[in-house]
Amino acid sequence: MDIEQARFNMIEQQIRPWEVFDQTVLDLMSQTPREKFVPEEYQHLAFSDTNIPVGHDQVMMSPKLEARMLQALNIESHERVLEIGTGSGYITALLTQLAGSVTTEEIYADLSVQAAKRLQNMSLDNVEFVVTDSLKKRQFFNRYDVIVVTGSLPTFDPIFQEQLEIGGGLFMIVGESPVMEALLITRTAEREWDRLSLFETDLPALIGAPIINKFTL
């Protein structure tokens, strides 16, 4: 595989056509080595328009979804970011290059350790890795300017919007396969939030998300 040609095609054939025009995001995804975050057996899919397995039934988002998310959040260099679901660490790497600091939470210790090593190899150190179940017994000690939830939830849960600073933004995907809704939640006041529907997509559920049981008679 010609890696640089594949990276160029990812930008020009997947990301730009999906209405990503923010040059900062385009440059960032052009310069960040996505292939270094993909398991060896899936290297041939590193730049493909698909979700890539990373272990424990978790996946990397498709490149166009990652790019639309970053464009919507418009992260600034002074902002504090919370990522729910470290996964491969690729989104973590993108976030650390945009923000002032990143805290990333992951339920599986081995994924967290692997991601930390990948970022260390890239000399990205403005990040804290936390191994925890992000959906259980959540304590609201800290607020963040930006929160990113990298797995879907079947229904909207306000647990994360409570941790936003006023003026801060939350990206999350809500719904059931095959049609889910990507949302941008902005905290406008202490008890007020705006909700913007960005686009439809499909993404595996966050580990620990409630399961909606359905049946027919």
pTM of the model: 0.93
Burial of residue 29 (CB within 10 Å: 0-12, 13-18, 19+) is buried
Residues of the chain with pLDDT under 70: 1, 209-217
**125-177 confidence digits (pLDDT tens):** 999 999 999 988 777 778 999 999 999 999 998 989 999 999 999 999 999 98
Residue 214, pLDDT score: 42
Q: What are phi and psi of 141, to 5 degrees?
A: -80, -30
Tell me how far CA of residue 56 lies from CA of 87, 109, 180, in angstroms: 9, 11, 22
Domain regions of the chain by residue span: 50-59+71-201
Which two tokens mark 81?
């970011």
- Is cis: bond before 33, omega within 30 of 0? no
Q: Which residues contact 158 (CB under 8 A, 6 or more apart)?
A: none
Residue 211, pLDDT score: 53
Residue 210, pLDDT score: 62
Burial of residue 10 (CB within 10 Å: 0-12, 13-18, 19+) is buried
Distance CA 169, CA 150 (A): 14
Q: Which residues, listed in sequence order, are joined to residue 195 by a DSSP beta bridge?
A: 185
Q: Hey, what amino acid is at 42?
A: Y
3-class SS letters over 142-193? CCEEEEEECCEECCCCCCCHHHEEEEEEEEEEEEECCEEEEEEEEEEECCEE
Which CATH code, of 1.10.240.10, 3.40.50.150, 3.30.930.10, 3.40.462.40, is assigned to 50-59+71-201?
A: 3.40.50.150
Distance CA 43, CA 1 (A): 9
SS3 37: helix
